[in-house]
Amino acid sequence: MRSRSRTYSLTFSIYSLILFNSLALHASEYLISYRYVVKDSALYNESLSISQAMKKCSGSPQIALELQTDGNKNLKKIISQNSEKFTEYIHKLGMHVEYKDTTNKAMNKSTTIMTLQTTCFTVDFNDNFAKIAPLK
């Protein structure tokens, strides 16, 4: 008959803590920001900034996006290979839109700037895909 000592529950909690932390270590955290500028209905400038987070980000992961990879672990290359899918995804997250419209001597000029503020994403690399989820 098994004794009901506290050593069993203590051992179980230590093992579960080690397992949970080892699973969390597989996902990396990256800071991603995106901005593009459209002038007079033509794409003028587009920039994507990706850097690995220097310290742990807080928050819980939201709905994830899976991008196809060829075993590559470079996030910028993965996003550029799947750029259309990624831009649709970040549009759903919410982007800040700034619009200017001026008319001078019957000439109409417009500028639209769309920005994804710097957001912390968790990224889990597997053999065939990368799973990306923003933290909120």
Q: What is the pLDDT of residues 9-62, one digit of tens each?
A: 555 555 544 544 444 445 689 999 999 899 998 999 989 999 999 988 988 989
Does the residue 9 lie in any domain?
Answer: no
Provide the domain limits for residue 40. Answer: 27-134
Does the residue 127 lie in any domain?
Answer: yes
Does the residue 51 lie in any domain?
Answer: yes
Does the residue 46 lie in any domain?
Answer: yes
Does the residue 84 lie in any domain?
Answer: yes
* Model pLDDT for residues 56-101, shown as the tens digit of each residue: 898 898 999 999 988 888 899 999 889 899 989 988 888 899 999 9
Half-sphere exposure of residue 47: CA atoms within 13 angstroms, side-chain side: 9
Does the residue 13 lie in any domain?
Answer: no
In this prediction the pTM is 0.70
Does the residue 32 lie in any domain?
Answer: yes
* Total structural domains within the chain: 1
Does the residue 64 lie in any domain?
Answer: yes
